[in-house]
Structures are given as C-alpha cells and as structure tokens.
Structure 1
Amino acid sequence: MDNIAGTKSSLTWAVNISVVVLVVLWLFPTLGLLISSFRTADQIATSGWWKAMFPSEQNLVLRTGDPDDERVERDGVFVVEGNLFATGSEAEISVWGTSSREISAYEAGETADLGDGETMTVESNGDYVWTGDAEQLTGRGQRIFATAVTPPEFTLDNYKTVLFSGSPTDNMARAFFNTLTVTIPATIIPIVVAAFAAYALAWMDFRGRALLIAVIVGLLVVPLQLALIPLLKLHLGIGIGKGYLGVWLAHTGFGLPLAIYLLRNYMVGLPRDIIENAKVDGATDFQIFTKIILPLSFPALASFAIFQFLWTWNDLLVAKVFLIDASGETTVMTNQIVELLGTRGGNWEILATAAFVSISVPLIVFFAMQKYLVRGLLAGSVK
C-alpha cells in the first residue's frame, strides 16, 4: 500500500535536502560577488568575503607627511608629527618598520633609532613623531611598513568607477546599454517569428508539416560554433557586415529551433474546442492566433523569453564574431569584463563590481518571470 498514487514518498526528506544544497551552492558565489563588490582592494587582498564583517590583519605601506611643510623646531631639534591613517580610521598598528624586509622590527609605541640622532615613534593609532635635524627631515616623507588590524570597510567607490568613470576600460555604462541594445531585439524577434511558426505547425494542415517539425527538432542539436563562420561570410556577402543587425539575426537564427519546438508543444495542448468554435463563428487564422492562442500561450512565451534573454545577455562568442569593432563603440558587457580582466587583473574589487552589474539584470528578469518557467517547460509533456 506504500506505492499507492497520492501517498507521500518516504524520500521527501532527501529531495528537500538536495534542493537546499543546490540553492546554497548557487547562492554562495552570487553572495560572495555582491559582498566583494563593496569591499576595498586591501580588504579583498587580505581576507575572503565570508570574513567581510570581521576585522582583518593587513600589511600596509604608509607614508608620513611632507617634512618640508610640516616640520617644526623644538629646543634645537626638528620634529614632524601627524597620523599615518586617513581621518576617522579605526585601524590599530601592532608592529611596524622602515624597511619592507623588516616589517615587524618595532612594536607599536616603540621608538626606532634611524641613525645620526634621527628617531621615529609610531603609536598603535597611527600617530607618529619623527625627529632629526633639518637635513634629515626633507623629501617626500618617511615610508612606514606596518601590520595593522583594520575594521570592516565597505565603499561605493567601486560602483562609481565602474558606472561613472570616464575611462574606456573601466566604464561599464556604455557596455550596459550596448548589451540592452543587443538583448531586447534578439529576444523579441525570435519570439514573434516562432509564435507564428508554432501556430502553423500546431493547428494548420499543409503538406510536409511532419517533415518540417522533424527538421526543427534536428536543428536543436546543431552546434553553434559550426555555423558561425559560414553565417559571418553570408552577412559580409549581403552587406550586413558586423553590427547590431547582424547580431540580432544571428541570435534569432540560433534561438528559433528551441522557440518553435517549445511553443508548438504548448499550443498543441490547448483545447481544440475553443479553436473549432472560433472557426465556426467565422474567425480567421490570424484572429484565432492573436485573440486566443497568444493570450493562452503566455507561460510558454515567457519561459522562452527567460532562456533567450539570459543566453543573449551572457553571450560572448556571437558578440565577438558578429558585433565587436575596433573602436569598441558596440562592446557588450561580457567583452568589457574580459578587457577588465586583461588590463586590471589585480583589481579584484573592480572585476567583482563589474561582474555583479552584469548579472544583476538577468537575476531581476529571472525572479520576475520564474513562475512561468516551469509551466512553459512542462508544456505538452502530459496529455
């Protein structure tokens, strides 16, 4: 009696645990990327994102103030005083030194003898006292190598750099709008074409319909890379070249087989009585398609829109082949991140911010339309 339909399975707990594990595995990288996008370069270099809320120990290179402007004479000795940190910093120095080879030469508060009567004292809060004669206290200031415990620090400077900087390599704003220019038409065009084709294959009788359906199913397994070069040669031959029109048509061609297959399966499952009654009332195929089929097929349309949008937004290969130009005016976000990786490979805070900006729109689209995803994918699976 344990296998009677409608009874609760004894493995429900395993399914629930598996779902939780998958969600956590998917969520952790996204959460880490979000947190890293608000951290400074020093914080990222010294600790992982999971330690972002805790103080971290960092090796810092600091510099005293300009002695030519700040030195004062006291009892025949010149003195330079100040603080090594920026105003409001809560970092605490534990050890320090005047050479990168001996970072821990002195404890905080200890006075270092720099020779010829020149001394340096550094307190834990960053206050320093540098004494010597006029000839010793000159130049750009003394470099201090310190090990300090710094509190958690978050900043919006990374987003200002990525979104509003004038640098052609760091600025993602233009690439963001270029990606929207590619993605929106490349999502709408195949949906419109596939909807008409799916209705014809589902409800219109014509010679060769079964063969055409078989060809469409076969096109689902054709590798994308196989058609890139021939399609590019075709674009160049007919005068389209590399541009937005070419990349729209390329994404449309590569997305149509899945779109037609998905929508046709959904439309076949719609009640036949509704369509036959509409024909009896004198409705044309176009009226049936626009007034009945399209409203009822919205879950399937939304399901494919999610897939197509995510694919075109995250695409790099098609954009590289059909879109990228020498001036970079049509650079999309995926290619801009590759450029950042090459020119700013050490600036992980900039890369994390750029990556999160890139994934934020697909996340919004997915969560806004996810309720239609399963309904669209299961279309036609059960009669």
Structure 2
Amino acid sequence: MKRTRGRIVHIESLEELDRRLAAGARHLSGWRVRGLDLTERGDQLRACVVEGASFLGCSFAPGTGEELDRAGALVLPAIPDVPVDVHRGRLYSPGELYDTLAAGGTYDGSLDARAYAWAQRPGDAEDELAKALHDHAVDQALQSWVAGRHLVGVMGGHAALRGHPEYAEAARLGHLLGATHVVATGGGPGAMEAANLGARLAGRPADDLAAALDELAAVASYRPSVTAWAQAARAVADRFGGGRESLGIPTWHYGHEPPNLFATAVAKYFRNAVREAILLEVCDRGIVFLPGAAGTVQEVFQDACENYYADESAVAPMILVGVEHWTRTLPAWPLLQALARGRAIEEHVHLVDTVEEAAVLVGRSAG
C-alpha cells in the first residue's frame, strides 16, 4: 500500500515559528508545532488562520489554547510523567536512546531503559493514550524518512551471537545490500544488529567489516550486561565513523532485547503489532529472511499474506536464505511454495543457500 500525505510544516523552535510569521505566513493549515512555550505568542497566533494546524505539547497563556481549538486547530497538551516525547517529530538516533553512555553511565539510566520500565508498569488510560500518540508520531516521522529511499529488509534471529558464523553471515549480507540499498531491520540484537553493522560499513572494504566483527566478538551478547554490549558497539561505531545510513524498527514490547547501535535511524514503537506491519510495508525492495525461529517464521508468513493478496505491481520479493533450515529444520519453504503457486507472488519467492545469491536477487528485482 502506498501512502500519501499533504503539505506538512514541522515547527520545533520559537526561532523557526517567528521567522515564518515574520515572512508573512498567515494560513497555518498543515503546521505541526511541537513542544513550544507559546505564552508570549498569543497575539501572533490569533492573527492567523489556524484551522488544520496542530499544537502538540505546547504551553499557552490562559485561554489561548481554547481559542485556537475553537478556531479549528488541534491542541494536544503534554502528558506528564512520560519518559518519551509523545509528540516527537523525528526518528530516534542510537545516541538518544543510549543517552547515558556518552558520560560513562550505565544502560539502566538511559532513555531506552526508562521507557521500557515505564511501558511495563500497570498503566491507566492516560498512559495508553501516551503510547498511542507516541507511536503515531513515530509513524509520521518514519513516513517522512523513507520518502525517496528504497529499502530492503533483513530479518533473522535475535539470538545470533557476535563472534559466531551466523552473525558474520548476516553482517556480510548487510554489507552487500547496503552498497545499493537502504537496509532495514527489526532494530534489535543478533542478526538484526549484524545486518545494520554490515550496512553501515558498506562503503568500506571487507577488511574493515572483518575488523569490526573481531572487535565486537569480545562482548558476544547483551547478557549479562547491556552496558558492556552497547559500549563495545559504540566503540566500533566511533572507530569507523558515520558510514551508510540504515534503519532499525524495534519495539519496547520486546524491551528486554535492547536496540542495536548500528542503525543510523531508529523508529521505536511501543505497540509491536504496529511495528511489525510497518516494517513489512516500508521494505519496497523486498525482504531477505535469514534462519530464525518463531518470530522470523511469523514474519515470513505475515509478509507472504500481504503478497498473496497483492497484485503484480505491489508484490515485493521474498528471499529465504538457508536451504537446510527452511526445508528441514523449520520447513516453511514447502508451505510458502504451495501458497504462492498460481498467484502473482509465485515469481517473487526464492530459496537460496548463500547471502551472495540473496544479494544478487535483490539487485535483479531492483533493476
């Protein structure tokens, strides 16, 4: 499904607001004003047509918010005692989620950990509203981010350990795909982290990827210490610089699995069902499925269902890597073949044994 959206203007500073108003802007339909103290801007706003504008988490002088609401604006107040900005206008960065690491702190005090702890506590209606507003804001930010980019997904098991062959293979896949595409993953550890790592280093020689893998192997897992695991990743990211962009779409539903630090943009959701659907939707160049367990099998058939009912123009390739795994260990391939037979999806499902073969198929489909 292709999404459309109208003209949106994001205002996140008083300087930007004042600049636009001074330039003569008077019709604010489509404006999204976030988190600003507007107590001194009431007169300017009353002089504008605000129908269709949104004021998210802003503060006003008494009565001004109500006036804007009556004039057709959407006015949503800030929700207190929530660790995240529910009206945020951009995706997360790894540094934002792991905000305590730069100062030598531990993961336990980070934004990511605090958000997970908050999400796990018994909540009231206001908490549920906060989660819904946050996920909507992230969804909107993600729509803006993917515009003009072509994404290929990599899905696989979260349990792949640094230093193990399956982790290295996922990293090599990300390295191959990242040379020509933006790689998207579920944003977590294991194969997801490896694919984001490989994509980040896609513009560098294979020897640099090998060196990064060797360095990360010293801290194989986020257990027992997320802090040590994240610090090792941060050291590698700093060593090799910014690199190619890639996307991670994790969820606080699985907050015990921390997000990886190699995705350059992170769309983190509270609702896993929303996250799963969005991850499949944004991968317009298809998805490569590495060996995994129940979660990866679910993703295979969730993607298959979308493609099964799609017409030819909307089908995205599905490439399963690992003949033994997908025909014997978890024999999803025979069922996928049976589902695809006679449908538009049939020519777009593939089973291969190597990540090199998968990368070639992705390249062909893009051409």
With normalisation by structure 2, the TM-score equals 0.22
With normalisation by structure 1, the TM-score equals 0.21
Give the number of the structure with larger relative contact order, counting CA–CA contacts within 8 Å between residues 6 or more apart: 1
| Larger Cα-atom Rg | 1
Query: Which protein has the bigger helix share?
Result: 1
